[in-house]
Structure 1
Amino acid sequence: MLSRNQQLPFGNSIRRVTLYSLKEHGEANDIVVYCSDGQSVEAFAKRFFHTIGAESFWFVGVDCSTEHRNAEYVIGRDGPIFERHESFFINDVMDWATKVIGTQPSRERSAVFGYSCGGAFAASMGIRHPDLFGSIFAFSIAGRPITNFDAPLESALSNIAFYFRAGSREPKAMRSYMKRLEKWLRSADVQIDFKTLSGGHEFAMWSAGLNESIELAYEIDA
């Protein structure tokens, strides 16, 4: 597995972004998965890159803030902090990754992944930017980022697929919240695949769920 990292300017500081792949240069049909909690993405990528068809995938891990992780990931906690990180993620990070990979991926071949509060961020990116991401892998959504379930949704969301995964041993309140979010999204004819997997709030469940979800989203063989 190859990795390349870059310290990108982020306000008055810098933020590490790391790219993982099995090859040096991108090709037209490659798929890019943009990930929150970049410090953990190497472990997810290592497990995924053992699957058949993995050579067509790129993982982009964006390190989280050590001070404002929840505020950056969960919409409603702190508007300016969330929006600054959102802009960094969809502009600076995606521009850098496109230059390094060497190809411009389409919306259908761009995905976003996150777990826990990072799952809240992934879901928000799918809802707020339906023009950028075709597949949303949002696991164990924490922080209750969306509460206005009566708000109308954009019709453009009908072209996106959301993959929700939760652990059987996670709090019932978390799974209940995700069910409410699922119902709200389905009101706009959004494609959703929601499964409860054996496990808790833990890497093993998220990793297995990510591999399975990617295989479903892009029709590759395990």
Structure 2
Amino acid sequence: MHHLPLWLQHAMGWSITSGPLYWGVMAVVGVGLVVLAVDRLARRDVRALGVHVAAAAVAGAVGLLAAWLVSDVIMVFGVSLGWTVIGTVAAGFAALGFLAGAIRRTRRFARALAVLLVPLTVVACAMGVNAAYGEFRTVGSLVGYSPYRRIGGADGVDVRRAAMDVTRWRDLAARHRLPSMPSSGGIVSADIPATSSGFRARTALVYLPPAALSDEPPALPVLVMLAGQPGSPNRVFAASGIEAMLDAYAAEHDGLAPIVVVPDQNGASTVNSLCADTAKVGRAETYLIVDVPDWIRDTLPAAPSGAQWAIAGFSQGGTCATQLGPRHPDLFGTFIAVDGEEEPVAGSRQQTIDEYFGGDEAAYRAIVPADAITAHAPSDQTAVLSAGADDRTSVANVRIIGKAARKAGMDVTELAVRHAGHDWHAVNETLETALPWWCDRVGLAGDAGGSADGSSDSPWAGNEDLEVLG
């Protein structure tokens, strides 16, 4: 899709969570509602305006009740939607109620305007809900647009294996003799062979910092990051802001930043693999801990796995991080999870055990994060567990998994993100601090980096949007 005309590629990059398009839609709807109200007043039809307002109040109340029931009572999505989303839905219903009254009791221009505003109001409400979550950030993200070139091939990006270590790279930087490299990193796509697992994964995405794109790259730390479900590898880069964060870090550290590999752990947006080897979905865990690491080592300028590698994720991807990290300490020295579950489920717990593990509860419990941590204790791994403060279930999960991790001897940080719920805003705030902190820990900052044992909590205390729980 990167062969689209330039004007369309530009349009795909328009923001739908802020900026001219977002505020333009909101302004058109707002001004349109004001025009309808002024039109009634100008005609001295106060009674009709009263009917419009009454319809808005009733519709808003219905929307508020419906959203609250779906969010906090029935919990259709497994987590609370949060009052920002509930309020946005209620406001959308109220506006539609006002417009319905206007359509019934006005004529000509006013009626035509009210009819035109109905779909725009639906779009504005959807944009408001999406802005609260940060799930889709651009027009392109709505249609799965991917502008990324592939690794290798005649038209692809040429990536070389490591030619030196980071210490040597910094020495060259001090003498102003670094190999040529771009001023910023880049995202590329790759189909990672499922040689051992046979798992049918979608195309992966990879962030390569400037140093990795040089002719003689250093061996760089690796962050494996997983999106939620429903979701895709593209969602990580579209919603998390991680590319800009690491470009900024690289700009201050001679082009050095970690490589970020975002594989597909589910095979489709509607599928939950549990990041496990199961009868229902296939060998997702083998794909993630054998096939993906083998491809990374064979293809990218990657540092040895273990202390130099981390796994991270959001929502279902965060659950995967707290499963796979503890189960494979030889691969991952650190795991970072945002809004993860206490237990991986697809439907009810018993349904998950029956459908995925043939009724074998012991096999299921082996992938439950707290149980996996206990089974592989003691451990010297590092765990960063975070949740949006408004997502009370995920905050409770942080405490449960954090307690097990601490008991196993891990270096644990538990965080709550203020003014966020089960959404990508929680991811953004967590990574804003966690990424530079982890980069420093794995030696990218040299002597200026943080303590190797992670004893200081100052990085977390320095972010006003993060509350350290434990």
Q: Give the shorter-chain TM-score range.
A: 0.7 to 0.9
Q: In the TM superposition, what is the alpha-carbon distance from 1:16 to its structure 2 partner?
A: 0.9
Following superposition, the deviation at residue 133 of structure 1 comes to 0.3
Instruction: Tell me if structure 2 keeps the 8 A contact 1:35–1:112.
Output: yes
1:121 Cα deviation after fit: 0.1
* Residues 1-222 of structure 1 mapped to structure 2, 5 A cutoff: 1-10=185-194, 11=198, 13-23=200-210, 24=213, 26-28=217-219, 30-37=220-227, 38-43=233-238, 44=240, 45-49=242-246, 50-51=248-249, 52-53=252-253, 55-63=256-264, 64-66=266-268, 69-73=271-275, 79-80=278-279, 84-142=283-341, 144-145=343-344, 146=368, 152-157=374-379, 159-170=380-391, 172-198=392-418, 199-219=420-440
Give the 3-state SS of the residue equivalent to 1:138 in structure 2: strand
Q: 1:192 to 1:82 in 2, by over 3 A?
A: farther
Q: Deviations over 1:40-97 (max 9, x none)?
A: 2324332322234473211101134325643333x6xx83457711111112111222
Q: 1:150 deviation in Å?
A: 10
Q: CA deviation at 1:195?
A: 0.8
Indicate the larger mover: 2-11 or 183-192.
2-11
Q: RMSD of the alignment, in Å?
A: 2.7
Q: Is the 8 A contact 2:199 2:282 kept in 1?
A: no
Question: Within 2, Cα distance between the matches of 1:160 and 1:147?
Answer: 14
Gapped runs of 5+ residues in structure 2? 1-184, 228-232, 345-367, 450-458, 460-470
Instruction: Compute the TM-score of the two structures, normalised by the length of structure 2.
Output: 0.42
Shifted more, 202-211 versus 43-52: the winner is 43-52
- Residues 117 and 56 of structure 1, relative CA distance in 2, 3 Å threshold: same
SS in 2 for 1:121: helix
Cα gap change, 1:20 to 1:80, in 2 (>3 Å) = same
Name the CA shift for 1:218/1:55 in 2 (closer, same or farther; >3 Å).
closer
- What TM-score results when the alignment is normalised by the length of structure 1? 0.84
* Unmatched segments (≥5 aa) in structure 1: none
Closer, same or farther: CA 173–88 of 1 in aligned 2, 3 Å: same
Question: Aligned to 2:343, what secondary structure does the other structure show?
Answer: coil
Does structure 1 retain, via aligned residues, the 8 Å contact 2:205–2:261?
Answer: yes
Aligned-partner residue type, residue 187 of structure 2 = S
Of Structure 1 and Structure 2, which has the larger fraction of its residues in helix? 2
Q: CA deviation at 1:128?
A: 0.5
2:186 partner letter: L
The alpha carbon displacement at 1:214 in A equals: 2.1
Describe the shift of the 1:104–1:82 C-alpha distance in structure 2 as closer, same or farther (beyond 3 A): farther
